[in-house]
A and B are shown apart, each in its own frame.
Chain A
Amino acid sequence: MNYHSHLKCRECSRRYPIEPMAACEECWAPLEVVYDYDRLRAEISRDAIAHRPPTMWRYHELLPLTGEPYVGTSTGFTPLALAPRLARALGAREVYLKNDAVNFPTLSFKDRVVAVALSKAREFGFDTVGCSSTGNLANAVAAQAARGGFKTFIFVPADLEPEKIIGTEIYGATLVQINGNYDQVNRLCSEIAQKYSWGIVNVNLRSYYSEGSKTFGYEVAEQLGWRLPQNIVVPMAGGSLITKINKAFHELRQLGWVEPHGTKFFGAQATGCSPITTAAKKGIAEIEPQKPRTIVKSLAIGNPADGYYAVKTILGSGGAGEDASDEEVVEGIRLLAETEGIFAETAGGVAVAVARKLIEQRRLNPDESIVLAITGNGMKTLGAVSGALRDAHRSAAIRPKLAEFEENYLGLASARA
């Protein structure tokens, strides 16, 4: 039962059939999958969805597959947890964490987009797939391509975190490390996509891939009891996730599954790579590219393809863009871990740090519900926090003596003397 019918250019509205395509042939703008919402509203209900298995595929009618998913069948439906201790630390009342740090199989929200992209690659008949990546996408494509039996080429900047390099090569993917930043990797990948008939998930499968991000938004709404949050803070790299969560919320309103209240979108970046928040602060949608300089490598995209739409989403919702320094990001990661027991990667630190700033500035209302998008797992970016933790160590290792433990850690030296 399919509800998607065609692709449509976001700018000139030109229609294309469901095929692998990178962009509109006329104006090069991104292509959106179009669904028959009238028929969806008539035939699918919230109750029907409630009885389905807890994966992202419970919303399969709103995803662009013709058949059953081929890979990532267990992906999604990650926890949405109330975070009272973090809320107290931030001075807010009602904070939720949408925790894709425990997404399956590779511990980031990218598992969602790849599950759709590679299932679609299978439908299109590709035997070779690939991507350009800042790390998480590489892991997700490598793992799910192994599961699906695809040949795989993955292109990454050579200076990625070692965890993300190992977490790609382990699956047998051909990893191509490039001396350059992500935007340069992307450019090469685009040339390769033009020359070879491969399914490159973020190039010629982009329209399908990005639809997977919508499930993050559907889940937030369903887990809140079919209610949209008043505010959501989303880390941004290329700007696709925030745009697609907005599309998801819009679709849910259109289907009548949630009240038509608006959600304010807050976009978060690292100060060292902040082309989208810089534009949002100026109140304009035109993006000036930057050369990334930040420890937040998963967000280090200086020329964000969906930046224009991300800014429009933010400004159109009454939200704001804000960025955090590398030091603030590390503090954010530690605060989240110490208050809620969730170890997020650097992008999660960006979300927490930016939420803190926005609340302090009173641009984010602490009396309203706030969802923080935690998109990846801290075990993948250990180097970002190891230095700060080393500095925090109180003393060197001790001998296995009770007295030394009490002296060094309980301050009981004098009591035993």
Chain B
Amino acid sequence: MGKGKTHRGPLRRQRAKPLNSEWQHVSEVLLAITIRIPPPLRKFTGGAEVAESDATNLTGLFESLERQFPGIKKALCAEDGTPHRFVNIYVNDEDIRFLGGAGYAFEDGDEVLLIPAIAGGV
């Protein structure tokens, strides 16, 4: 139950590591992450099922989606970026809460899935 980034999807590509001073501005390198948009949110995306973002963390992701699709942020999180209780966020098949939640730093090639909580069991 650690917070290690151990569950990697098949498409994950390693982010280039800074090797020397030339790489000190690595944070400015644009990441590409993919977000799969569920049906309840497609009214914001003009029907698009997939979006892309260069966000580096969850708060940035919500901002980035809002810039692309005005109105969508309110459906996902509070003003301060706290995800709504019934919104589940997965990164490469893993619940983002196991990866550190808001503290998780997206990596190039990450695939993000947004889905409602689902009933079951017993």
The interface bits of chain B over 104-122 (1 if a CB of A lies within 8 angstroms of the residue's CB, else 0) are: 0000000001011111111
Q: List the A side residues contacting B122 at CB < 8 Å.
A: 108-110, 134, 136, 235-238, 241, 298-299, 347, 375-376
Question: A28 contacts B121, CB within 8 Å?
Answer: no
Q: List the B side residues contacting A241 at CB < 8 Å.
A: 122
CB contact under 8 A between A238 and B120, given known A23-B86, A25-B40, A289-B95: yes
Q: Which residue of A lies closest to B122 (CB)?
A: A237
Closest chain B CB from A204 CB (angstroms): 10
Separation of A26 and B84 alpha carbons in the complex (Å): 11
Question: A305 contacts B85, CB within 8 Å?
Answer: no
CB contact under 8 A between A238 and B119, given known A187-B113, A194-B38, A194-B39: yes
Instruction: Rank and list the top 10 A-B pairs by shortest CB-CB distance, nearest first.
Output: A237-B121, A305-B117, A28-B86, A23-B116, A28-B116, A237-B122, A238-B121, A301-B121, A202-B120, A202-B119
Q: Which of A22, A184, A291, A375 contacts B116 (CB 8 A)?
A: A22
Q: Which residue of B lies closest to A285 (CB)?
A: B85
Q: Which of B90, B117, B120 contacts A182 (CB 8 A)?
A: B120
Q: List the B side residues contacting A132 at CB < 8 Å.
A: 118, 120
Question: A206 contacts B118, CB within 8 Å?
Answer: yes
- Other CB < 8 Å A-B pairs besides A206-B118, A290-B1, 16 of them? A26-B75, A28-B75, A28-B87, A28-B117, A108-B122, A133-B120, A186-B118, A190-B118, A194-B115, A238-B119, A238-B121, A289-B95, A289-B97, A299-B122, A301-B120, A304-B121
Tell me the A residues contacting B by CB distance below 8 Å: 11, 22-30, 108-110, 131-134, 136-137, 180, 182-184, 186-187, 189-191, 194, 202-203, 206, 209-210, 235-238, 240-241, 286, 288-291, 298-301, 303-306, 308, 347, 375-376
- State whether the Cβ of B88 lies closer than 8 Å to any Cβ in chain A: yes
Q: List the A side residues contacting B116 at CB < 8 Å.
A: 22-23, 28, 190
Tell me the B residues contacting A by CB distance below 8 Å: 1, 38-40, 75, 84-88, 90, 93, 95, 97-98, 113, 115-122
Separation of A308 and B119 alpha carbons in the complex (Å): 12
Separation of A182 and B120 alpha carbons in the complex (Å): 9
How many contacts between A and B, using CB within 8 angstroms? Answer: 114
Q: Do most interface residues of chain A lie in helix, strand or loop, or is the interface mixed?
A: loop
Q: List the A side residues contacting B119 at CB < 8 Å.
A: 30, 202-203, 206, 209-210, 238, 240, 305-306
Q: Which residue of A lies closest to B2 (CB)?
A: A291
Q: List the B side residues contacting A183 at CB < 8 Å.
A: 95
Separation of A184 and B115 alpha carbons in the complex (Å): 12
Question: B84 contacts A305, CB within 8 Å?
Answer: no
CB contact under 8 A between A291 and B98, given known A26-B75, A27-B86: yes
Q: Which of A136, A187, A291, A298 contacts B1 (CB 8 A)?
A: A291
Q: Which residue of A lies closest to B90 (CB)?
A: A187
Q: List the A side residues contacting B98 at CB < 8 Å.
A: 289, 291
Q: Which of B88, B90, B93, B121 contacts A134 (CB 8 A)?
A: B121
20 contacting pairs across A/B (C-beta < 8 A): A11-B85, A23-B40, A27-B86, A28-B84, A29-B86, A132-B120, A133-B120, A194-B115, A209-B119, A210-B119, A237-B122, A289-B97, A289-B98, A299-B122, A301-B120, A301-B121, A303-B88, A305-B86, A305-B119, A375-B122
Separation of A203 and B116 alpha carbons in the complex (Å): 9
Q: List the B side residues contacting A110 at CB < 8 Å.
A: 122
Question: B117 contacts A189, CB within 8 Å?
Answer: no
CB contact under 8 A between A184 and B93, given known A194-B39, A290-B1, A291-B1: yes
Q: List the B side residues contacting A375 at CB < 8 Å.
A: 122
Q: Which residue of B lies closest to A207 (CB)?
A: B119
